[in-house]
Homo-oligomer: A and B are copies of this chain.
Amino acid sequence: MKGNTGAVDLGHSVRNPLRSREPECHQCDLHSCNLGNGLSPEQLNSLNEIIHIRGPFQPGSAIYKMEDHFKSLFVVHSGSVKIQNVMSDGTKVVEGFYFSGDIFGMEAIGNKQYHYDAIALEPTWICHIPFEQLESLCCFNAQLQHRLLELLGQRIRQAHTIIGRGRYMKTDERLLLFLESLCKRKVMKDVVSRHESIYLPMTKGDIASYLALCPESLSRALRKLQDKGVIRNHKNRIEILDVDVAFNYICN
């Protein structure tokens, strides 16, 4: 097991008020992604010791790039991240969004390199979890191993939900499925009964790409749903006017 502290470094201008350990940060990670669930205090400590926080990553800057050597998993401490693929013709394909507490980078496990670019969508702080060290910890810690496997299973199911189930849906159904998944992932917490407002750190273009639509089609779908009174479309926010109606709509 290597003792290096320097996970992935992309040469960003990282001003580092938090480069040294910050207990609050660690608690947050462990809580929000539940990686540390059911661990004893000592076990928790050893987990905390391998975690490092980096930031702020400015919007548009890369946490990692496709070609980078796979070393670490990541947890969004604050802010948000998209992962995307640059195709041979230069078009960018967004494959996922991650928000505070989400773990990402798992697609790269078992590979030399990351398979996507990970790009910050807003000023973002990221926790690095060196994978080799995590693996070593898991060998002596059944709970941690179990939790990691669980997260990987979730990740597989997630891939099959949005991009799997979504394939058979029409544009507006797919859009609502996406909004529903955002709501479930507590992108925002102030749920006022059957009405939600979702803040969207990504561009509409990113969303369109993620849903395998052209931006125009997404725009039209938003308009259509707004005219129907299901949602209200704002610049960086979408209101779900009636959660029940919106998310049952999917089954029609």
Contact = CB atoms under 8 A, between A and B. Distances in A.
A109 interface: yes
Question: Which are the 10 A-B pairs with shortest beta-carbon distances?
Answer: A109-B153, A110-B150, A110-B153, A167-B212, A159-B159, A152-B152, A107-B156, A139-B142, A163-B164, A163-B163
A224 interface: no
Nearest to A140: B139
B146 A107 contact: no
Contacts of A140: 139
State which size class the interface on A falls in: 35 or more
B153 A111 contact: yes
A157 interface: yes
Contact of A163 (B108, B135, B136, B167): B167
14 contacts: A106-B156, A107-B157, A108-B153, A109-B150, A109-B152, A109-B153, A110-B149, A138-B139, A152-B152, A152-B153, A152-B156, A155-B156, A159-B159, A163-B167
A212 B109 contact: no
Contacts of A138: 138-139, 145
Majority secondary structure, A binding face: helix
Interface in A104-133: 106-111, 115
A110 B151 contact: yes
Given A167-B167, A168-B212, 7 more contacts: A85-B165, A109-B149, A109-B150, A152-B153, A156-B156, A160-B163, A163-B163
A225 interface: no
Interface in A156-175: 156-157, 159-160, 163-165, 167-168
A206 interface: no
A203 interface: no
A106 to B, nearest CB: 6
Contacts of A106: 152-153, 156
A109 B155 CA distance: 10
Contacts of A157: 107, 111, 115
